Amino acid sequence: MAVFTHLTAEAVRDFLYAYDLSPFARHEGIAAGVENTNYHVFTEDDRYILTLFERRTPTADLPYFLAVMDHLSAHGISVPRPLHARDGRSLREVGGRPAALFTFLEGRDLKAPDAENARAAGTALAALHRAAAGFEQTRPNGMGPRAWQALYDKIRPGLDRYGESVPNEIGEATRRLSEAWSAPSSLPTGTIHADYFPDNVFFSRGKVSGIIDFYFACTDYLAYDLAIAALSWMPEDDDAPAHARAMIDGYSTVRPLTEEEHAALPLFFEAAALRFFLTRAHDDIFRTEGSVVTIKDPHVYLRRLRAARNATIGWEDESL
C-alpha cells in the first residue's frame, strides 16, 4: 500500500455519496507498499479502506481481483470485501483512477513473525486455496516467465549497481527458469495469491485474522504460491529455513502436497526469488520521487536466488 494519488477530503466525501454509509468523518493515507494508493476512510460509525488502482495494476483485471475477494469472503476466508454502491458496482473512479471501497480487517501484520506465525500463515494459505477451488474465473500469471524477461530487459542497464556480474547472472537465471517453467505442467493449479508476504497477512491474538492485497492473484501452480510464501516469510536478514519449513508444515496439515509437488519446490523457490529480485530492483531503479512509498531491498532476493540455485538454503531437509 502507498500514496501515489492524493485526495482531498471533499473528493473522498463525494465518492462515498454513492454508498449507503454514515457521513464521512476523515481519511488518512497509508504509506506501506509499492503498488496502489490506499487510504483509511472513517465515517461516523465505521472504518473502511479506499484503494485507488495505479497504472501498475492492469485496469482490465480489476473485475477479476474484486471477484476473487468476493468469492473468498463468501466462503469463509477473512479478506477485504468490496462494497457495492447503490447502483450495484464495486469498481468506481476517484482522483482520475479506478477505485474500490473495502471492509476494514482487524489485526495487523507482524514485523518480525516467528516460525509458529509462519506455520499459522501456511495453514491459512491452504484454506484459501481450498476455498478458491470453486472459483471459475481464471487469469494468467502476469508475473510469470514473460514478465521476468520483460523486467530483465528493462532494468538490465541498472543492474550493475548490485554487482558487476549481476546483469549476466540474472539474464542467465531468467532464461533457464523460463525454459524450465512448463516442465511441471501436470501439477495442481488454481487461484493463487501470488504475493503472500508477512505484510499481507494480519494477526490478532496470535491467530491469522485476515489476508489482504490480491492484486497479483492469478491461476497458477498451487505449490508455487506456497514457495513464494515460504521464501518470503524467512526473516530478511536470515536465510535459515526454519520459517519456510514451518510454513510448508502448516500448509500440509490442510492440503498435503503430492510427491510431484515436493519435487517441484526447488524450481519454484528459485523462480520466486528471481521474481522478487526483479520487481524490487525495478522499484529501486525507477523509484518515484515525491510519493510516500517503501522501497524494499533487492539484495535479499539476489542472495536467496543464489542460495536456491546452489541448494545451500536447506530445502533438502527430509521433513519437506
3-state class (DSSP) for residue 132:
helix
Task: Report whether 215 contacts 89 (CB < 8 A).
Answer: no
Q: Cα 91 to the chain's mean position, in Å?
A: 20
For the entire predicted model, the pTM comes to 0.91
C-alpha cell at 93: 473512479
Instruction: Dump pLDDT digits (tens) for 22-67.
Output: 999 999 999 865 678 999 999 999 999 999 999 878 899 999 999 9
> How are the residues of the chain apportioned to helix, strand and coil, as percentages rounded to the nearest 5?
45, 15, 40
Q: Which residues pair with 192 in a beta bridge?
A: 218
Q: Where residue 320 falls among pLDDT bands split at 50, 70, 90?
A: very low
* 138: Cα within 13 Å, side-chain hemisphere: 6
Q: Which domains does the chain carry?
A: 9-71+79-103 (3.30.200.20), 115-309 (3.90.1200.10)
Residue owning grid cell 502507498: 2
Q: Tell me, what amino acid is at 254?
A: V
Residue owning grid cell 488454481: 190
Please give the C-alpha separations between residue 286 and each of 70, 106, 230, 234, 282, in angstroms, as whole numbers: 33, 33, 28, 26, 6
Instruction: Dump pLDDT digits (tens) for 183-208.
Output: 778 899 999 999 999 999 999 999 99
Summarize the confidence of residues 279-303 as an average pLDDT: 83
Instruction: Dump pLDDT digits (tens) for 201-245.
Output: 999 999 999 999 999 999 999 999 999 999 999 998 877 789 999
